[in-house]
Structures are given as structure tokens and as C-alpha cells.
A and B are shown apart, each in its own frame.
Chain A
Amino acid sequence: MQPFLRSALCILAPWAGMLAAAEAAESAGTAAFTLSALPYAQEALEPYISARTMGFHYTKHHQAYVDNLNKLVAGTPWANGSTLEQVVRESAGKADQGPVFNNAAQSWNHGFFWKSMKPGGGGQPEGRLLEAINKSFGGVEKFKEAFLTAAVAQFGSGWVWLVQEGDSLNIVKTSNADTPLVHGQNALLTCDVWEHAYYLDYQNRRKDFVKAFLDHLVNWEFAASQLK
């Protein structure tokens, strides 16, 4: 497409520029970012998360964030070998890069969320992670209570996280696409508390979803592997 034509379209409709950029990316055959693989089958977390929920969540929501990100970064330096983490960090807090940040951070957050769970998860953390949880929260059950409270208290869409800050572990909640990655915290675990994560299975009962996450899905080995 000729440059003058593209700018003419931008004047006619704000989305035309985005479409043109997307076409350019597609015709070059190189989407900068790809949807990270789901580490298990879509039905693997049943009955706690239905295959139907996973289907929409992974192939529609997560996929859309990745697709939107590719459209937004096409033709920018971010399309030339930047990692997803770099895009998240470099777009954070920049008023004119809100959509890039939202889609990059949501792409990253969802990839991290899938890894935070596993079929047959739950149970007890071990070793250094168990020690750190005992030290910071006074026990695994106390940690779970605090995580649940934070998850329920996150008003609107967002995430609840177990993070490492220096020597201690903390629970933080973030709103919408926000992520510990841009707050100097090392993420160990996350639970998505956007309503799309649980509405088909739990409707308004967010607490029951997060309880099932903690008791039956949480992947402690993954959390331990993230410790610094």
C-alpha cells in the first residue's frame, strides 16, 4: 500500500492504519509474537476449570491479545526481535502506549497463568519455597487465606499474584493488564480474576474459583522454579 494512501485512510478512520499495519505484517509472513503453548490439554483442568472456559480463554482471549499486539507493533522497533518482557517493560506507564502495554502484558500474564496451574495441582509446596511461605505468611494455610482475600478484594478485572521481593514473599493484586513485571517484583504464581476466567463455571462466585485454584490446580513446582 502506498504511504500516502495509508495516511489518507488514517484520516478517514482511526482503525484503517491498524488494518494496514496488520496487512503489512501478514504479507511479510512474520508475526512478531506467537501464542505461547498451553502446557496441557484444554480439558485437563476439569472439573475445576471446564474445557469450554479454557477454550474461550486460551483460543479467544489470549489469542486476541497476541494478535492485537502484533498489529500494534507492526512497523515499530518492537517488531524486530524484542521479547514480550521487553515490550511490557518499555511500554509501561507511557500514556500513548496504553494499547501496546495492555496487549503485551495480557499476553505475558496469560502465559504465566497457564504455567501457574497443572492437572493434579494443589497440595503442598516443598523445600525453599515452603520455608519462604512459612516465613512470610506463617504457614501455607495462612498464605491461602491471604491470597483468597486479595483475589476477592480485587475490584473489577485483574490478577492476584504471589511475588518475591528481596528476601520476602508477598501477595499483590493488579488491575486489568497490570503486572508485577513492571513493579520490580519477581512473580512466582498468578490467578486470573477477570470474570472471563471463571464466569462460565462459577458465575459470580469468584471465591469458589480461586479456592479451587489453590486447592486443586496450583503448580508449586513452577512457583519454586521462579524463585531467585
Chain B
Amino acid sequence: MIGNDKTQVSESVHVLAPLPYAENAMEPVISARTIGFHYGKHHKGYVENLNKLAAGTEFAGMTLEKIVAATAGNPDKAAIFNNASQAWNHTFYWHSLSPKGGGEPPAALKQKIEAAFGTVDACKKELATAATTQFGSGWAWLALDGDKIKVVKTPNADSPLTKNLKPILTVDVWEHAYYLDYQNRRADYVAAVLDKLINWNFAAGNLRG
């Protein structure tokens, strides 16, 4: 079946985006073990499921963003939406973290944050509240609503992309993101991520373009 193999290779399939750092780069805030499962099993699983679900359908060859937009809110397309959106969300999450994260946002972002929340600390506090009150699995986000930064939380695979908002930063609050390291203490995971890992430069880059 060489011919078939060739067809499959030439068809555009989604690939697991590379992790932008080593699996142990987030220690001690997030263990290499957690990142290993999270990236190598969960994220990879979403990408593989998506490729299976999209093969031979109108969604084959579409970008993740297009699939998310085309399937959001359609109960018949829940499986493909879930996997496409989770594939996108996780890549966005890896970039929202940095081994040199935390600290102060760059000036332009800081200004926008202060305009919306008063202070960077107030913004972090609101983001932490969203992250700890998201019941069940989901995500907490900073997103642009027009020109204004706001905090958003989404359940399961959902993202600001489905609400006409532009994501600029995210924290995964599915239990798999922190259970090996923090167990039930989601608040401690969120606080540590916001203080030590959050990638303000990535967020600032998302303000443009």
C-alpha cells in the first residue's frame, strides 16, 4: 500500500508543536514528570485524535484556528472541536510559561494592564480567582476584548477564540496540569505559576498583530 502511504504523507496533518524548553525547565514549580505526561501524553493525544477525526473530512488540511471556529458550539462536532481546541490551547499554554517568567510585564503591556485592573497585582489576583473558581476542568486566560484586557475562564476545551476575544496568556487548570505536584491545591499551583513562570513577553507579543 505504498500509494496510500504517499497520499497520507502529502495530506496536511497536524504535528505536535515543539515544547519551547526542556521538560525539566519549569522545575521546581512544575516537575519534569508533570510536563512529560502533559506534553508527551495529553497534548500529543489531542493532536493524534484530531488527525484521526479530521482525516477524509472537510476539516482535513484546515488550520487549528479554522477548525475551532468551524466546529465551536456544534454538538455534532464536539469531538473534533475538543481535540482541535485542546491542541491549540496547550501550545498556547507552553508559550505562556517561561523558565525566566514572572516579574514585571514589559512597559506597553503593563500600561494596558494598569488601565484595566489598576495594578499588575490586581490583574494577577483576578486571574488567580478565575483559575481557582473554574469548576471542573478548564482554563484561565488574559484576553483582549477590542482594546481592553480582561480575565476569562473557560470550561474543558473552550477558549476565548470562540468568543471573539484574542487570547494573550493562559493557565491550564485541568487537574492533570498540577495533580502530581500539588494534588488538590490548585491555588498553590496557580500562585506559583503567576509568580515564577508566567511569560509576560509572550503576552506582550500577543498585543501586536
Which A residues fall within an 8 A CB radius of B? 56, 60-61, 64, 98, 102, 155-158, 175-177, 194-196, 199-200, 203-204
- In the complex formed, the residue of B with least CB distance to A106 is B135
B156 x A156 contact (CB < 8 A): yes
Mark B126-163 against chain A: 1 for CB-CB distance below 8 A, else 0.
Answer: 00000000011110000000000000000111000000
Which B residues fall within an 8 A CB radius of A? 37, 41-42, 45, 78, 82, 135-138, 155-157, 174-176, 179-180, 183-184
What is the CB-to-nearest-CB distance from B79 to chain A, in angstroms, rounded to a whole number? 8
| A/B interface sample: 17 pairs, CB < 8 A | A60-B184, A61-B184, A98-B135, A155-B78, A156-B136, A156-B137, A156-B138, A156-B174, A158-B136, A175-B136, A195-B137, A196-B179, A199-B175, A199-B176, A203-B37, A204-B37, A204-B41
Task: Give complex CA distance A195, B180 in Å.
Answer: 11
Task: Give complex CA distance A175, B136 in Å.
Answer: 9
Interface centre among B42, B156, B175 (most CB of A within 10 A): B175
- B135 — which chain A residues lie within 8 A by C-beta? 98, 102, 176-177
A203 x B184 contact (CB < 8 A): no
Task: Give complex CA distance A56, B179 in Å.
Answer: 10
Q: Which 8 A-B pairs have the closest CB atoms?
A: A195-B175, A157-B136, A156-B156, A176-B136, A156-B137, A199-B179, A60-B184, A204-B41
- A56 — which chain B residues lie within 8 A by C-beta? 183-184
B157 x A155 contact (CB < 8 A): yes
- A64 — which chain B residues lie within 8 A by C-beta? 184
Given the known interface contacts A156-B136, A176-B136, A204-B41, the answer about A194 and B157 at a Cβ–Cβ threshold of 8 Å is no
What is the CB-to-nearest-CB distance from B178 to chain A, in angstroms, rounded to a whole number? 9
- In the complex formed, the residue of B with least CB distance to A59 is B184
Task: Give complex CA distance A177, B155 in Å.
Answer: 13
- Picked from B37, B41, B82, B175, the residue with its CB within 8 Å of the CB of A194 is B175
Given the known interface contacts A102-B135, A195-B137, A204-B41, the answer about A157 and B175 at a Cβ–Cβ threshold of 8 Å is yes
What is the CB-to-nearest-CB distance from B32 to chain A, in angstroms, rounded to a whole number? 14
- B157 — which chain A residues lie within 8 A by C-beta? 155-156
Task: Give complex CA distance A177, B136 in Å.
Answer: 8
What is the CB-to-nearest-CB distance from A154 to chain B, in angstroms, rounded to a whole number? 11
A204 x B176 contact (CB < 8 A): yes
- A156 — which chain B residues lie within 8 A by C-beta? 136-138, 155-157, 174
Task: Give complex CA distance A44, B41 in Å.
Answer: 30
What is the CB-to-nearest-CB distance from A58 to chain B, in angstroms, rounded to a whole number? 11
A200 x B41 contact (CB < 8 A): no
Task: Give complex CA distance A199, B178 in Å.
Answer: 10
What is the CB-to-nearest-CB distance from B112 to chain A, in angstroms, rounded to a whole number? 25
- In the complex formed, the residue of B with least CB distance to A15 is B129
A196 x B136 contact (CB < 8 A): no
Given the known interface contacts A204-B37, A204-B42, the answer about A157 and B183 at a Cβ–Cβ threshold of 8 Å is no
Task: Give complex CA distance A61, B82 in Å.
Answer: 26
What is the CB-to-nearest-CB distance from A157 to chain B, in angstroms, rounded to a whole number? 4
Given contacts A155-B156, A195-B179, A196-B184, 12 further A-B contacts (CB under 8 A): A60-B183, A61-B184, A64-B184, A155-B157, A156-B136, A157-B175, A194-B136, A200-B179, A200-B183, A203-B37, A203-B41, A204-B37
- Picked from B136, B156, B180, the residue with its CB within 8 Å of the CB of A203 is B180
Task: Give complex CA distance A94, B66 in Å.
Answer: 35
